[in-house]
Structure 1
Amino acid sequence: MLPPRSTRTRELLRLDGLWRFALDAADAPRPYASTLQTRREAPVPASYNDIFADQEIHDHVGWVWYQRTVRVPRGWSGERVFLRVDAATHEGAVYVGDRLVAQHVGGYTPFEADITELAIAGEEIRVTIGVNNELTNRTIPPGTISVDERGRRRQSYRHDFFNYAGLPRSVWLYSVPDVHVTALRTRTTITGTTGVVHYDVEASGEAEVRVRLVDEDGETAAEAGGASGALSVPDAELWRPGHGYLYELQVELLADEAVVDAYGLPVGIRTVEVRGARFLINGEPFAFRGFGKHEDSAIRGKGRDDALLVHDFALMEWVGANSFRTAHYPYAEETLEYADRHGIVVIDETAAVGLNLGLGGGVHGVAEQAAFSPEMFDEHTQRAHAQAIRELIDRDRNHPSVVMWCLMNEPDSVEPGSREYFAPLVELARELDPTRPLTFAGEYRAHADTDSIADLFDVITLNRYYGWYSDSADLVAAERHLEQELRAWTDAYDKPIMIGEYGADSYAGLHSVLDQPWSEEYQQRLLETFHRVFDRIDAVVGEHVWNFADFQTSPGFFRVDGNKKGVFTRDRQPKAAAHVLRARWRG
């Protein structure tokens, strides 16, 4: 699905702002049929949970409703009109007037509807969007709904971040000509100093296709005709880490030699390859330095915010990071576009977190039943997971910053049933995009001699917490055990090893001269311990600290106001660990 753009043949309206807002109610079975009866207003984009000082809204499980009116621009007469929702966490239903025009399950990828017959140029339409935050064993991520003794519905899940819900990204109304570009796929190769942009264009009707590649100075670098082909650029300026050089692929559809549609797509010329235990970008070894992150901030929850986006990237530059993982779901497209422009490398992940009965909210335990079974994660879960992979790759395949797909985080990869579950998903991902390596983030029970799926992937990514969840307050033992495990992986596989998570919780302002967990100094020393081991293992090609910033988790006694593993606080102030990383990564 192409992101909406304003071009000489297309126009768009961003429908961000305050919408009427109400919880689902039994006495209002069709809230979309008329003006929503509520005095509440909720901002879009934002998660709704922390906006109101209301426990019922914060803890709500089920549907909520957003509504607003919008006037269709009078200049859109004769155009096709689409309504697009960038994300509805985790299920969305869109109505124009009282007609259902779109439904979608999956909280982090966009969906849209052609509403041409309902959108009369110059007239107002009423848009109502229902959003359901329920997670079950048939959703990605999974969860469980229960009812307590007072009849209240409760949501539980096995991932360690709060289940923020609502409309966290933008809603759009946009116009296109009747015959228009519907899909555009690119890949790039390099031969000597010549960059090649391979492209495929799909359109809604018959039209001649003309393409042109333009450099950042507006000069034509190459041009061609036809719905598919290759554009060769001698002495191409390559996209590379720290240098986000982008060409623009300009596509025109023509009928009787007149342009009927125009669409432009930024393109970065670069290659990605795994060769033995090395990860190569443009044929050069690349070492990942950065973080697992979250779309998380006070009040907004997972709501997209441009000021926060720019500030977070500025902090990553300050600390010397060159990459991040979209833990544990696809991030907003604006985030990837920013990474494209600024040369930041991205590992792009599906929302498949929590496929592990031995983990719950970050706590390690023992599984009491098989995870991959008819009673738990079954063929319905697998189909939802497959759809999440399709939508992730379809949305993000054209981003040069995305160098690897991560298909899941900390699944149970020890259980024999895991291979039967995951192998078809790996095959699907390779079929959809054979140009990028694949990985998954493995949890602590899956060692080189117990993991059952690592051979299916190109890069071994390990989430490891020696010195925290194991060997707590004993960094000597942590260093020894970490090195033993990493050497076992290198002996078993000739593949790059990526440390997808490592770190420790710390409370800003808590200090100790001793190895005292939760102190800033302990977080510092734990990171330094891991770094010594990384530097002794040649196969380690990357280190992503968990986490960039403190983030909110589900309420409970295990987490006090969220997860504190950030090297920045939730309001983005540096802890002592940030200076350790800056000295290492910039030095």
Structure 2
Amino acid sequence: MSPKLSACWVVLGPLLCSCALALQGGMLFPRESPSRELKALDGLWSFRADFSENRLQGFEQQWYRQPLRESGPTLDMPVPSSFNDITQEARLRNFIGWVWYEREAILPQRWTQDSEMRVVLRINSAHYYAVVWVNGIHVVEHEGGHLPFEADISKLVQSGPLTTCRVTIAINNTLTPHTLPPGSIIFKADTSMYPKGYFVQDINFDFFNYAGLHRSVVLYTTPTTYIDDITVTTNVEQDIGEGSWREVLCG
């Protein structure tokens, strides 16, 4: 995917050309049941902001191909949270560009061996643009910091002997006239006052552009044939109430 504005290329440029879309459908909120299991990935994640001049070092060096801690210094970052508020470092609070999160999870053996089980990665909020890999394989991209998205990762975690699942998420908080909320990038060309390549995020709203993994990240399972959506319709006439529901099955 190419950036919407050429002026933002330095920040948004590495978006992948072959984009795996998030799952479409009902996306019922995951809850445990006799047929569904849930594993929350909340807690401390490895975290690294890409402070390189063009913000592309993480993509150029493919940080997602190996554990993030092997790419250089990382922080322990709580999830969910806004990375802007966690440290006392001013340049991280005001950072614009790509930040990288990673967490390794040990999966129950049945998740990796039962071909009749579907394993789904759900990210409830990543502000603003997110690219996700599992065990170094690109699985999904999503734009918009306020809605959840999912990816079916069954084939990745059931294709070998590993029972670990390494989730890597790159997040870009750059705002453009096409994002919600909107913004723009302004480059400071006067090198007598600013470092080479220096830019700022210009906004027209009265709140801080907090960014990061703002809500929980979870892994959950369903059978390969599962309820994807439920619609409940109600009606009341005088003292009589009626209700009906419609289920959408997938698989």
Match of 1:86 in 2: 124
Letter in 1 for 2:131: A
Q: Equivalents in 1 of 2:162, 2:229: separation in Å?
A: 29
Q: Equivalents in 1 of 2:41, 2:57: separation in Å?
A: 28
Q: Equivalents in 2 of 1:73, 1:48: separation in Å?
A: 30
Shift of 1:11: 0.3
Match of 2:66 in 1: 34
Q: Equivalents in 2 of 1:135, 1:187: separation in Å?
A: 39
Contact 1:74 1:122 in 2 (8 A): no
SS at match of 2:155: helix
Shift of 1:154: 1.2
1:68 counterpart = 2:68: no
Q: Equivalents in 1 of 2:162, 2:243: separation in Å?
A: 41
- TM-score, normalised relative to structure 1: 0.34
- Aligned 1:321-332 pairs, distance under 5 A: none
Q: Equivalents in 1 of 2:164, 2:44: separation in Å?
A: 17
1:108 counterpart = 2:143: no
**Higher share in helix:** 1
Match of 2:41 in 1: 15
Shift of 1:175: 0.5
Q: What RMSD over aligned residues (CA atoms) do the two structures have, in Å?
A: 1.6
Match of 1:371 in 2: none
- Aligned 1:520-559 pairs, distance under 5 A: none
**What do the CA deviations read for 1:457-508 (whole angstroms, capped 9, x no partner)?**
xxxxxxxxxxxxxxxxxxxxxxxxxxxxxxxxxxxxxxxxxxxxxxxxxxxx
1:140 counterpart = 2:180: yes
Question: Across the two proteins, how many residue pairs are aligned to each other?
Answer: 205
User: Higher relative contact order at CA 8 Å, sep ≥6: structure 1 or structure 2?
Assistant: 2
Letter in 2 for 1:97: N
Shift of 1:56: 1.1
| Counterpart selection for 1:56 from 67, 91, 94 | 91
Q: Equivalents in 2 of 1:101, 1:45: separation in Å?
A: 21
Task: Call closer, same or farther: CA 1:63–1:184 in 2, change over 3 Å.
Answer: same
Match of 1:533 in 2: none
Give unpaired runs (5+ residues) of structure 1.
206-587
Match of 1:5 in 2: 31
Bigger radius of gyration: 1
Letter in 1 for 2:210: Y
| Counterpart selection for 2:199 from 122, 128, 153 | 153
**What do the CA deviations read for 1:93-140 (whole angstroms, capped 9, x no partner)?**
110022111111010000010000111387002110111111111112
- TM-score, normalised relative to structure 2: 0.77
**What do the CA deviations read for 1:407-448 (whole angstroms, capped 9, x no partner)?**
xxxxxxxxxxxxxxxxxxxxxxxxxxxxxxxxxxxxxxxxxx
Match of 1:227 in 2: none
Contact 1:16 1:170 in 2 (8 A): yes
Q: Equivalents in 2 of 1:153, 1:167: separation in Å?
A: 24
| Counterpart selection for 2:245 from 167, 176, 199 | 199
How many percent of aligned residue pairs carry the same amino acid?
A: 40
Q: Equivalents in 2 of 1:161, 1:99: separation in Å?
A: 36
Letter in 1 for 2:37: E
Match of 2:7 in 1: none
1:99 counterpart = 2:137: yes
Task: Call closer, same or farther: CA 1:199–1:5 in 2, change over 3 Å.
Answer: same
Contact 1:73 1:122 in 2 (8 A): no
| Counterpart selection for 1:130 from 170, 182, 189 | 170
SS at match of 1:141: coil
Shift of 1:62: 1.1
Q: Equivalents in 2 of 1:14, 1:56: separation in Å?
A: 30
Q: Equivalents in 2 of 1:87, 1:95: separation in Å?
A: 16
**Higher share in strand:** 2
Letter in 1 for 2:134: V
Q: Equivalents in 2 of 1:27, 1:95: separation in Å?
A: 17
Q: Equivalents in 1 of 2:203, 2:240: separation in Å?
A: 49
Letter in 2 for 1:5: R
**What do the CA deviations read for 1:45-92 (whole angstroms, capped 9, x no partner)?**
000001011111111111100001111111322311000000001111
SS at match of 2:110: helix
Task: Call closer, same or farther: CA 1:128–1:190 in 2, change over 3 Å.
Answer: same
Give unpaired runs (5+ residues) of structure 2.
1-26
Shift of 1:198: 3.2
1:186 counterpart = 2:221: no
Q: Equivalents in 2 of 1:166, 1:143: separation in Å?
A: 17
Contact 1:71 1:122 in 2 (8 A): no
Letter in 2 for 1:119: V
SS at match of 1:57: helix
